[in-house]
Each structure stands twice: as C-alpha cells, then as structure tokens.
Amino acid sequence: MSGTVMMFGIGSLGGWVLEFLARSPGINTIITCDKKADWALMKTECAAIGAGQEGYNKTIKFEQCDVNDIDATAELLKKYTPDLIYSAMTLLAVSEWRPTSVVIGPKFDKALACLIPTQTVLISKLMKARKKAGITAPVINNSYPDAINPVLWRNGLGPWVGAGNLDIAVGEIRRKLSVKESVPVSDVRVYLISGHAIVPQGTKTGLPFFFKATIGDKDITSKHDVHSLISDSLYRAGPADKSGLLADPYIAASAVRNIKAILNDTNEFAHSPGPNGLPGGYPIRISATGIKIELPEGITLEQAVRINLDSLKYDGVAEIKEDGTVVLTDEAYHTGKEMYGLDVLEFRFVDLDDIAKELVTAVRKLASKYR
C-alpha cells in the first residue's frame, strides 16, 4: 500500500521521523505541519533534498498549521485525506524542561506526570479536528502515550497507538542479547510489559514489570541478569542534557516501524505504549486493521494492565479516572508545587488548557534561571 502521511510537530523527534520516512518504501507523500514555519519548512526541505540524493522520489511538502485553530486544521486534513497521521506535538520541548529536571534531580523522574497538560493539549485538538473533518486515518501519538492515550480514549479522541518509551528498552535489550548469544537481532524475541518509567529509572528501584526473552523456541530468560539488561542502559548512562540527541533517532525508528506496519499491513510484532487506549506499554501486533495485544503464556491482559498502572506511579500518575482525569501521586504533587508553583492534584480534561499555560510559563521561567 502506498500512502500519504501527515506529520504534526517537526521538532527534534519529528525531524528524525521525517528523515526516516523520506527514505522508507511504501510512502509516496509526506505532508509536514507545524506552527513554526521557519524551522519546519527548512527541516522539510533538508529532508527532501537528502532523500532525493539517495534516489527517493516522494512528494514532501510543508503546510503551516496551528492546531489550536481546530476548524482550519480540519480543513487541512480534508485537503489531503491522509492514510495515517503522526504527532510529536508538545507545548514544551525536551530542551525546555530538561534543565529543570537537572535542577530538581531524581525527584523529577517521579514527578514527570506534572507535565501531562503540556503534552495533551495539542494532540487533543488535532484529534478534535480529525473528528470534525470526518477523517478515519489511524493516528500515532508520540507524546507520552502511556498516559495521554488513555486520557484521550476516555474522551472519545483516542489514537491507535504510541511509539518509543518501553520500545527504547526493548530495542537495546534485543541488541545486547544478540551480541551475548551471537545471533542476529531478528532472532531475539523479547516480551516486556511496563510503563515509561522503566527507561529513565530502570527496575532496580522496585518498578513492576514482566520480562521474557526467547531465541526460536528456547527460553533464555534465566540465562541473563534481567535487571542489568533493562537498567544498565545507554539512555540512563548518557548525560541528561544530551539524552534527546542520543535517544531521538531510535525513538523515531520505533515510530517509523509502526507507521510502516500500518501502511504496509505487515502485522508487525512490536512493543509500544498506549495501544487502544491502554495505560503503559505492551507487546503488540500492528497492521492496517488495528492493534492487537500479544502476550506470552503466563500472563493475562488484566495482569499486564495492573503492572502498567502500578508502574505509572513511578512517573507520578496515581490514577486515570474513567473521564480521563489524571490524579497525581502525593510525591508528584508536592514536587510540582515546590518547583513550578502548581497547586493542582487532579488534571481534569476540561481544565488542561489553563493548567498547561500556567505550566509553560513556570517551566520556562525556571529553565531560564538555571540554563
């Protein structure tokens, strides 16, 4: 299947996704969309030039778009009727909030949920525009899908799936095992169940997870130190202010694999966060017809969901209510209040716009102080 992909959010991560898609078969047209015309247009042209130098002939075009204007965004979607929509939008780039994480220290990892409003607002408006336009194209959300996708699904605005996060850990584990076992990466099958926090915090903290590894029919889980496989990672070893430079390319690879699996209907085995609105991350099958959770023997979906709900507490998410309200843990609440002046324990969906504006101002003020 040859397809049209519309991309929203052409920052560091979105830029890598664009570069990889521009060199991917099965995709004829890429429409990049961003509020910031100067950078996004330049990035789009650079990707098109580079892909052209490697012999790829695709239609790659930029459209300036502010998703806060839902009507205009809906018209743009109707203009191109994409086969798939990808979003890496957020109100705060990693480069903006990362300095505050260094200042806050280890407490920040367990208070990441404080930033949920800044990661939800734009994708929620894109989903509203999609609904208004009558577009049924699947959506991949790459902005904290472990928690954002469940929030959106519970408000009738759910993307199909996310990318990155848990998949970062899985990719590195498969590489390690292929080296240790002297087999190709493609021969290594990993089943990992947990939320986003497993990447920055590892499992030696007590974070709940499920893990199994096989090569062919042989279970090799017991042969290896699982905690070290997961926790001694490149992501955690690198300097905090360089984490995006290191991780964005393989987060992007995770997203591009999901995009190609849908457009080319490959029924790919993968790991991704937020599939079908579930909290946290799971092993899945991904194809043109949708996302299916694929669990190994020995664990039920109910158990997998419970592991993920418990692991999200390590990000500061105590609960996601049926209406999509996110309840912070006490630790996340107190950290948010101390560092950002955020005196809010629960994020109601209808309040996210106002809370996000308050957070953006507070985070940028703190970041400028310590940058």
- The residue length of the chain stands at 371
Q: Which two tokens stand for residue 369?
A: 């102080």
pLDDT along the chain (371 residues), means of 10: 88 96 94 96 98 96 98 98 97 81 80 96 98 98 98 97 96 97 97 96 95 97 96 73 76 97 96 98 98 97 98 98 98 93 96 97 85 64
Domain spans in the chain, listed from the N-terminal domain onward:
3-153, 166-314
Bridge partners, 60 (sequence order): 30
Q: What angle do CA 257, 142, 103 make, to 5 degrees?
A: 130
Taking a C-beta distance cutoff of 8 angstroms, is the pair 171, 262 a contact?
A: no
* Distance of alpha carbon 38 from the chain centroid: 25
Distance separating alpha carbons of residues 275 and 159, to the nearest angstrom: 8
User: Which of the listed CATH numbers 3.30.70.20, 3.20.20.70, 3.90.110.10, 3.90.1720.10 matches domain 166-314?
Assistant: 3.90.110.10
Q: Which amino acid is at 171?
A: G
* Distance of alpha carbon 302 from the chain centroid: 23
Q: Which two tokens stand for residue 254?
A: 């995770």
The 8-class DSSP code of residue 299 comes to -
Burial of 132 (0-12, 13-18, 19+ CB in 10 A): middle
Please name the residue ranges forming H helices in 238-351: 243-263, 301-312, 330-340
The percent of the chain in helix, strand and coil, each rounded to the nearest 5, is: 55, 20, 30
Q: Which of 5, 39, 34, 40 is nearest to 22 (CA)?
A: 5
Number of H helices, E strands in the chain: 14, 14
Taking a C-beta distance cutoff of 8 angstroms, is the pair 274, 161 a contact?
A: yes
pLDDT attached to residue 244: 65
Taking a C-beta distance cutoff of 8 angstroms, is the pair 48, 101 a contact?
A: no
Q: Which of 368, 327, 325, 359 is nearest to 340 (CA)?
A: 359
The 8-class DSSP code of residue 266 comes to -
pLDDT attached to residue 1: 44
Q: What angle do CA 193, 276, 90 make, to 5 degrees?
A: 90
Which DSSP string corresponds to 184-240?
-GGGEEEEEEB-TTHHHH-STT----EEEEEETTEE-GGGS-HHHHHHS-HHHHS-G
Q: Which of 183, 181, 185 is nearest to 223 (CA)?
A: 181
Q: What angle do CA 128, 133, 139 make, to 5 degrees?
A: 60
Q: Which amino acid is at 139?
A: V
Span 164-190, pLDDT tens digits: 999 999 999 999 999 999 999 999 999
């790659």: which residue's tokens?
60
Fold observed for domain 3-153: Rossmann fold (3.40.50)
